[in-house]
Chain A
């Protein structure tokens, strides 16, 4: 099969030294992303997402393995202006207005977007004249997004971009990202929110303990890790009986409470209440990613 070269990570490994001995942050990652795809790196904190992104951007040399971006090593792809990124951490430089900062960064690229358009798109046109050191956390994140976006890159990399944003900020952020992706751009973002990956990416790469544990279209990933749990206080009922309710996959007991892991929590809740009207303190929740990862990796992946 022939296709245009996209993003290729092959055999990436990285180990850090620490006072507690070596930490194997990335333990062998192979990923291929085609041009135009929007892909999420999904995983809990410490899964190796940021380390992988740093290696992808050439900020960190891998111990083993290679990275190519559109057929070039990272340094060359970056020199050609094809890459834009919003890193996980980072402040802005002081003593410039937001507009001046974005203009300054735009000047470094061969084909930047219009500065005013980007300020508008990222929702900071109204604070364009404000000095960067006077911005709130959410405004700083938007200004950093503007810096990444104005470069008009072929590949946009976003490392947990919505961390400091409020709900409204998140929503407009992702709307802007989608608009940019719709221009045929490749977008790669890291997140530990399943909803973000599910809603905004075509494909999710599930990472845990420095490895890829699943790589599939987001709807399949959601089915894999999106189990909901029902928790209820229900003394004196056998776990086997509960396990036979429709939509229930497994049952656990915590004191007087039972926890049902469900593939269909709606059906399970209806059946539970019909069969046991005295069930109390009912809570329905989305299972945490960490739990899902433990399930997928068998929880014994430390070595």
Chain B
């Protein structure tokens, strides 16, 4: 058996889908130029010490990559609706390779989105050292781990008819309270909520660029907890889906 061939075709068909280009690539890019373009001279956005082009570059990367990771849930829901998951269960494909393929595909989509937004950021004057680019990208990729589990969870919980609104609603809320559209000011209930969200820590990856530490202990703990809880729930949803009548 060759899992590589299976993964290759899964990636191929994902990159051919129109949904990917619209929601994960097109949407964030257009929004970035709409929001950051008119403000490209703002050097210190809302007292963060971060320029508007950099802040929104990371913010919209967070938005686009969240969509990319959660869209594996849409593909799982689609395969369940088509009965394709039953077809796969009568092949020798192990379940863990099925999920690994979905996660790898989500990450490839997310990485594509990230590279394009970084290029868009450069075009609006974002200048980072090579080390800062790599560190920022690394933090974002780690911050996406809970979203990989969340995608698998949603794919088994939600039907194909409601996966669109469910995904859209989830990313909208996580973006809003995670500080994608405007910086969350420190202190107050909103700040407490934001810090408990995995999306907040994706956006905080931009602090690397002003010599910040990136996340600090709190960030790592929040990301690890979301990953553990979502993975646990995803495993339960998968088991319930495969054993029900």
Q: Does B243 contact A (CB under 8 A)?
A: yes
Please measure, in the bound complex, the distance between the C-alpha atom of A85 and the C-alpha atom of B101, giving whole angstroms.
Answer: 23
Residues of B within 8 A of A79 (CB): 92, 94
Whether B9 pairs with A92 at a CB distance below 8 angstroms is no
* Interface size of B in residues (CB-CB distance below 8 Å): 26
Taking CB atoms and an 8 Å cut-off, the chain A residues in 71-119 that contact chain B are 78-81, 83-85, 87, 89-96, 100-101, 103-105, 107-110
What is the minimal beta-carbon distance from B122 to any residue of chain A, in angstroms?
Answer: 32
Whether B83 pairs with A109 at a CB distance below 8 angstroms is no
Residues of A within 8 A of B93 (CB): 108
Residues of B within 8 A of A61 (CB): 243
Please measure, in the bound complex, the distance between the C-alpha atom of A59 and the C-alpha atom of B243, giving whole angstroms.
Answer: 8
Given contact pairs A83-B90, A108-B1, A96 touches B13 in the complex (Cβ within 8 A): yes
Residues of B within 8 A of A104 (CB): 5-6, 9-10
Residues of A within 8 A of B92 (CB): 78-81, 108-110
Whether B6 pairs with A89 at a CB distance below 8 angstroms is no
Q: Does A151 contact B (CB under 8 A)?
A: yes
Residues of B within 8 A of A87 (CB): 83, 86-87, 90
Whether A90 pairs with B13 at a CB distance below 8 angstroms is no
Whether A90 pairs with B5 at a CB distance below 8 angstroms is no
User: Which of A17, A95, A103, A108 is close to B91, meaning CB atoms less than 8 Å apart?
Assistant: A108
Residues of A within 8 A of B12 (CB): 95-96, 100
Q: Does A224 contact B (CB under 8 A)?
A: no
Residues of B within 8 A of A100 (CB): 9, 12-13
Q: Does A294 contact B (CB under 8 A)?
A: no
What is the minimal beta-carbon distance from A155 to any residue of chain B, in angstroms?
Answer: 11
What is the minimal beta-carbon distance from B240 to any residue of chain A, in angstroms?
Answer: 13
Contact with B along A134-167 (1 / 0, CB 8 A): 0000000000000100010000000000000000
Whether B9 pairs with A96 at a CB distance below 8 angstroms is yes
Tally inter-chain residue pairs, CB-CB below 8 A: 83
Whether B90 pairs with A59 at a CB distance below 8 angstroms is yes
Contact count band on A? 20 to 34
Taking CB atoms and an 8 Å cut-off, the chain B residues in 46-63 that contact chain A are none
Whether B82 pairs with A108 at a CB distance below 8 angstroms is no
Residues of A within 8 A of B87 (CB): 87, 90, 147
Residues of A within 8 A of B243 (CB): 61
User: Which of A90, A110, A151 is close to B86, meaning CB atoms less than 8 Å apart?
Assistant: A90
Whether B86 pairs with A109 at a CB distance below 8 angstroms is no
What is the minimal beta-carbon distance from A281 to any residue of chain B, in angstroms?
Answer: 46
User: Which of B5, B13, B89, B91 is close to A93, meaning CB atoms less than 8 Å apart?
Assistant: B13
What is the minimal beta-carbon distance from A86 to any residue of chain B, in angstroms?
Answer: 9
Please measure, in the bound complex, the distance between the C-alpha atom of A61 and the C-alpha atom of B244, giving whole angstroms.
Answer: 9
Please measure, in the bound complex, the distance between the C-alpha atom of A61 and the C-alpha atom of B239, giving whole angstroms.
Answer: 13
Given contact pairs A90-B83, A93-B79, A104-B6, A110 touches B90 in the complex (Cβ within 8 A): no
Nearest B residue (CB) for A157: B90
What is the minimal beta-carbon distance from B85 to any residue of chain A, in angstroms?
Answer: 10
Whether B84 pairs with A90 at a CB distance below 8 angstroms is yes
Please measure, in the bound complex, the distance between the C-alpha atom of A61 and the C-alpha atom of B82, giving whole angstroms.
Answer: 21
User: Which of B9, B13, B82, B86 is close to A59, meaning CB atoms less than 8 Å apart?
Assistant: B86
Residues of A within 8 A of B89 (CB): 58-59, 78
The 9 closest A-B pairs by CB, nearest first: A90-B83, A107-B5, A95-B13, A91-B82, A104-B9, A95-B16, A108-B91, A107-B2, A81-B92
| A and B contact pairs by CB, cutoff 8 A, 10 listed | A17-B245, A59-B89, A79-B92, A89-B83, A91-B83, A95-B17, A96-B9, A107-B1, A108-B91, A109-B1
**Contacts A60-B245, A93-B84 supplied; 4 other A-B pairs, CB < 8 Å:** A59-B89, A79-B92, A87-B83, A96-B16
Seen from chain B, the residues whose Cβ lies within 8 Å of a Cβ on chain A are 1-2, 5-6, 9-10, 12-14, 16-17, 78-79, 82-84, 86-87, 89-94, 243, 245
Seen from chain A, the residues whose Cβ lies within 8 Å of a Cβ on chain B are 16-17, 57-61, 78-81, 83-85, 87, 89-96, 100-101, 103-105, 107-110, 147, 151
